[in-house]
């Protein structure tokens, strides 16, 4: 009997050459899919190293503009800004200061780079002395009392030039609170990217180092989601969509690809995956040891987010990826 006597299915035919593989490739990754996060600090000529996030810096506004121009030259079209103020208080009042750090960064970027999409993280944890994402009373994070402060912050970001505001606090009702406040201020064109499905995750560790936003007591489990829950993720995504969100985010990404997939399958809004700080730092640490090939693992991870259904990916690897995609 020769091999011709029984035919076997041969998927390998379509893998034989790079041209054939390119022809049948189902998922693509483009620089248009990337959102670059930036940390902004007070001062001048600041490029501060973050020990737990090698390659990521905290920029003062002047340096941020220079770095953003490098990103734009590589084709990156969207930035997500996090402000790190010098002064913190119980309420986080620097968050809505018209002369606050994010507001000044937004105005500078808007002026220098009129075509980029500017997104601002709306949360109080970087601005409160206790490090929680809302007002605290008797050790509890208050929901309804926090909403007007978030709304005020979002409006001040939009006035300063944000195209899109991204609430990351996980208070109930915040998307509609932001939408109503923006509309009342005449900011009907400002979009909302909701951190819809945000888990209480250990993968945020390096970010809290970078932003100085570690809670001074307790943790965030009374407002961020339990990593065990998937049905509840759908409820959060549905609520944010019905409250007027323009994009739905899942965060973190790597351990939550099932959630990315189910959220993207059940909405017509763009789905965003946040490749968070801990995911970044793990890759950086392993590749610094020579244990993994940084470029290959990053491209594989990002392709996985896209394959799971993410249209957009927020990632600290964005600049490197944009460079790799060019060659």
Give least dist CB 121 to ligand PBG, A: 5
Strand, helix or coil at 314? strand
Residue 168 binds ligand PBG, judged by CB under 6 A:
yes
Residue 276 binds ligand PBG, judged by CB under 6 A:
yes
Quick one: which of 9, 30, 160, 183 has its CA closest to 95? 160
Q: Is 251 a catalytic residue?
A: yes
∠ CA 300-211-135, rounded to 5°: 120
Backbone angles phi, psi at 281, to 5 degrees: -65, -35
Judge residue 204's burial from the number of C-beta atoms within 10 Å of its C-beta, 0-12 exposed, 13-18 middle, 19 or more buried: buried
CA 307/CA 302 separation, integer angstroms = 9
Number of residues in contact with ligand PBG, rule: CB under 6 A?
Answer: 11
Q: Which is nearer to ligand PBG, 76 or 81 (CB)?
A: 81
Residue 277 binds ligand PBG, judged by CB under 6 A:
yes
Find the part of the chain contacting ligand PBG (CB under 6 A) among 67-75, 98-106, 136-144, 205-213: 205-213
* Candidate residues 63, 94, 121, 241; the one interacting with ligand PBG per rule CB under 6 A: 121
* Candidate residues 59, 207, 223, 256; the one interacting with ligand PBG per rule CB under 6 A: 207
CA 317/CA 74 separation, integer angstroms = 13
Judge residue 159's burial from the number of C-beta atoms within 10 Å of its C-beta, 0-12 exposed, 13-18 middle, 19 or more buried: middle
Q: Which is nearer to ligand PBG, 96 or 207 (CB)?
A: 207
Q: Which is nearer to ligand PBG, 180 or 254 (CB)?
A: 254
Asked if residues 100 and 54 have their Cβ atoms less than 8 Å apart, the reply is no
Q: Which is nearer to ligand PBG, 173 or 185 (CB)?
A: 173
Asked if residues 83 and 102 have their Cβ atoms less than 8 Å apart, the reply is yes
Q: Is 198 a catalytic residue?
A: yes
* Candidate residues 76, 78, 122, 123; the one interacting with ligand PBG per rule CB under 6 A: 123
Quick one: which of 134, 143, 144, 101 has its CA closest to 120? 101
Give least dist CB 17 to ligand PBG, A: 39
Which residues contact ligand PBG by CB under 6 A? 121, 123, 125, 133, 168, 204, 207-208, 213, 276-277
| Catalytic residue set | 198, 251
């Amino acid at each position: 009997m020769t091999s011709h006597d029984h035919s076997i299915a041969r998927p390998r035919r379509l893998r034989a050459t790079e041209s054939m593989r390119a022809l049948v490739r189902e998922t693509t990754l483009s620089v248009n899919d990337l959102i670059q996060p930036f940390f902004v600090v007070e001062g001048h000529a600041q490029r501060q190293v973050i020990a737990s996030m090698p390659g990521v810096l905290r920029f003062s506004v002047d340096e941020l503009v220079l770095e953003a121009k490098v990103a734009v030259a590589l084709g990156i079209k969207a930035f997500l800004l996090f402000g790190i103020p010098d002064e913190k208080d119980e309420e986080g009042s620097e968050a809505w200061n018209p002369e606050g750090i994010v507001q000044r960064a937004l105005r500078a970027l808007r002026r220098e780079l009129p075509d980029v999409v500017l997104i601002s993280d709306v949360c109080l944890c970087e601005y409160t002395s206790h490090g929680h994402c809302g007002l605290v009373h008797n050790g509890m994070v208050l929901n309804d009392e926090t909403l007007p402060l978030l709304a005020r912050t979002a409006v001040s970001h939009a006035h300063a030039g944000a195209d899109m505001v991204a609430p990351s606090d996980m208070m109930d009702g915040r998307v509609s609170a932001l939408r109503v406040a923006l509309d009342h201020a005449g900011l009907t064109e400002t979009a909302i990217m909701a951190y819809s499905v945000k888990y209480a995750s250990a993968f945020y560790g390096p970010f809290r180092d970078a932003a100085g936003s570690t809670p001074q007591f307790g943790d965030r489990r009374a407002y961020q989601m339990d990593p065990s829950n998937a049905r509840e993720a759908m409820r959060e995504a549905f609520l944010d969509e019905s409250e007027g969100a323009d994009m739905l985010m899942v965060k973190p990404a790597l351990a939550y690809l099932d959630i990315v997939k189910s959220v993207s399958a059940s909405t017509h809004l763009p789905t965003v995956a946040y490749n968070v700080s801990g995911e970044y730092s793990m890759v950086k640490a392993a590749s610094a040891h020579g244990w993994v090939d940084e470029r290959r693992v990053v491209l594989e991870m990002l392709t996985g987010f896209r394959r799971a259904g993410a249209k957009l990916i927020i990632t600290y690897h964005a600049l490197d990826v944009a460079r790799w995609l060019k060659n």
